[in-house]
C-alpha cells in the first residue's frame, strides 16, 4: 500500500511544484516572457470557465471528426491487415508500402484533402482516416502473423481449416497489437483533426479556436483550448485502456 501511495504522491507533488512555479512567475523571469505571452494557470482556468460553452462546442466539432476518422481508418487498416494475411507472399509488401504512407507528414495530407473535399468536416475526416489507417494495419498485421511457435502447426495437425485458424488463433492473438494501435491512434486522431483545422475551411473547432485567438492576440483563450485538447486526449486514451482491460484480461501486459 505504501508503495502505491508513493507512486501517486511523487508525480503529483512534482506537478503541483511546476504549476506553483509557473503561477508565481518564475518561468517568466527565467525565460524572459511577458505575462500576456504566457498566461499563468489561474488566468487560463478563469478564461476557460468564462468561455466554457463555446469551448465545448468547438471541442465537440473536432472530436466528432476525429472519432469518425478514427473508426474509418482503423476499420480499413484492419481489413488491409486481414487481406494481407490471407495472401502472405503479396501481402507482406503491401505493409512496407503502408509503412511508407506512414512517413508522409500529416501537414502534407491536409492540403490534399482540401482539394478533394469542400467542407471542413470531410477534410478533417479524410486526414484522420489516412493517419489512423497506417498504424492500425501495421500493428494488426504483426498481431495476426506473430503466432506462438507450433500453435499453427498444432491446429493444422487437427486438420483445422484456414477459417478456424483465423478465428481461434490469429484473431485473439492480434487483439493486444490492435489495442496498441488504438492507443497510438486516439492521440494521433485528435492531433490530425486539429492540424487539419489550421489549414482547412472550417470556422470552428479546437484548432481553429487556437489559430483564431492567437491571431487576435488573446493568448489565455488559446491556452484554454490547449488545456481542453490535452484533457480530451487523456480521456480518450483512458477509455481505450479501460476497454483493453475488459477485452484482453488474459494478456501478460494486463497482469
Partner 1 sequence: MDKKEKYKVNLVWTACIFLFWEFGAFILDKVLNDPLAEAKLPYPHSIILSITQNFTDLMTASGLTFSRAVMGFTIGALVGFGLAIIMSLSKVAEKIALPYLIVSQMIPVLGLAPIIFTLVKDMDASRIVIAAYITFFPVAINMLSGLNSVDMDKKELLYSYAAKKRSIYYKLMVPFSLPYLFAGLKIAAPMSITASILVDMLGSKGGIGVKLLYSLYSGTKDVFWASVVTSALMGIISYFIVVLFEKIAIPWRRQEAN
For the bound state, the minimum distance from the C-beta of residue 167 to partner 1, rounded and expressed in Å, comes to 26
- Does residue 111 bind partner 1 (CB under 8 A)? yes
Q: What string marks each residue from 184 to 213 as x (binds partner 1 by CB under 8 A) or -?
A: --xx--xx--xx--xx------xx--xx--
Distances (CA, A) of 3 to 12, 74, 155, 198, 255: 14, 38, 44, 45, 17
Residue 87 contacts partner 1 per CB under 8 A: no
Q: Which of 84, 130, 223, 224 binds partner 1 (CB under 8 A)?
A: 223
Residue 27 makes contact with partner 1 by CB under 8 A: no
Contacts with partner 1 by CB under 8 A: the residue count is 52
At 35, is the secondary structure helix, strand, or coil? coil
**182 in Cβ contact with 138 (< 8 Å):** no
Q: Which three cell numbers stand for residue 64?
A: 466528432
Q: Please, what sign has the CA dihedral across residues 103, 107, 112, 118?
A: positive
Burial class (CB in 10 A: 0-12, 13-18, 19+), 207: buried
Determine which residue in the list 19, 35, 50, 93 makes contact with partner 1, applying CB under 8 A.
93
Q: Identify which of residues 105 and 149 has a Cβ nearer to partner 1 in the complex.
A: 105
Q: Using DSSP, state whether 112 is helix, strand or coil.
A: helix
Q: Which of 46, 86, 107, 242 binds partner 1 (CB under 8 A)?
A: 107
Classify residue 186 by its DSSP letter. Answer: H
Q: Which residues contact 24 (CB under 8 A, 6 or more apart)?
A: none
Nearest approach in angstroms of CB 196 to partner 1 is 10
Contact status, residue 73 vs residue 133, Cβ threshold 8 Å: yes
Taking the complex as a whole, the smallest distance from the CB of residue 168 to partner 1 amounts, in Å, to 26
Sites of contact with partner 1 (CB under 8 A): 6-7, 10-11, 14-15, 33, 37-38, 89-90, 92-94, 96-97, 100, 102-108, 111-112, 114-116, 186-187, 190-191, 194-195, 198-199, 206-207, 210-211, 214, 219, 222-223, 226, 229-230, 233-234, 236-237
Amino acid at each position: 500500500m505504501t508503495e502505491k501511495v508513493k507512486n501517486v504522491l511523487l508525480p503529483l507533488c512534482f506537478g503541483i511544484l511546476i504549476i506553483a512555479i509557473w503561477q508565481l512567475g518564475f518561468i517568466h523571469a527565467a525565460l524572459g516572457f511577458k505575462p500576456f505571452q504566457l498566461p499563468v494557470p489561474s488566468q487560463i482556468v478563469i478564461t476557460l470557465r468564462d468561455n466554457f460553452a463555446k469551448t465545448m462546442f468547438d471541442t465537440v466539432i473536432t472530436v466528432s471528426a476525429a472519432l469518425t476518422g478514427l473508426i474509418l481508418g482503423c476499420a480499413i487498416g484492419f481489413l488491409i491487415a486481414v487481406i494481407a494475411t490471407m495472401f502472405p507472399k503479396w501481402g507482406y509488401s503491401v505493409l512496407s508500402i503502408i509503412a511508407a504512407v506512414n512517413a508522409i507528414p500529416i501537414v502534407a495530407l491536409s492540403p490534399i484533402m482540401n482539394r478533394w473535399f469542400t467542407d471542413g468536416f470531410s477534410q478533417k475526416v479524410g486526414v484522420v482516416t489516412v493517419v489512423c489507417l497506417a498504424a492500425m494495419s501495421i500493428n494488426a498485421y504483426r498481431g495476426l502473423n506473430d503466432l506462438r511457435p507450433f500453435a499453427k502447426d498444432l491446429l493444422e495437425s487437427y486438420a483445422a481449416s484456414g477459417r478456424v485458424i483465423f478465428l481461434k488463433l490469429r484473431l485473439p492473438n492480434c487483439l493486444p497489437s490492435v489495442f496498441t494501435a488504438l492507443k497510438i491512434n486516439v492521440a494521433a486522431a485528435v492531433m490530425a483533426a486539429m492540424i487539419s483545422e489550421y489549414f482547412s475551411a472550417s470556422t470552428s473547432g479546437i484548432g481553429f479556436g487556437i489559430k483564431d485567438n492567437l491571431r487576435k492576440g488573446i493568448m489565455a483563450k488559446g491556452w484554454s483550448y490547449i488545456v481542453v485538447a490535452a484533457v480530451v486526449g487523456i480521456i480518450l486514451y483512458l477509455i481505450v485502456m479501460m476497454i483493453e482491460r475488459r477485452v484482453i484480461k488474459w494478456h501478460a501486459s494486463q497482469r
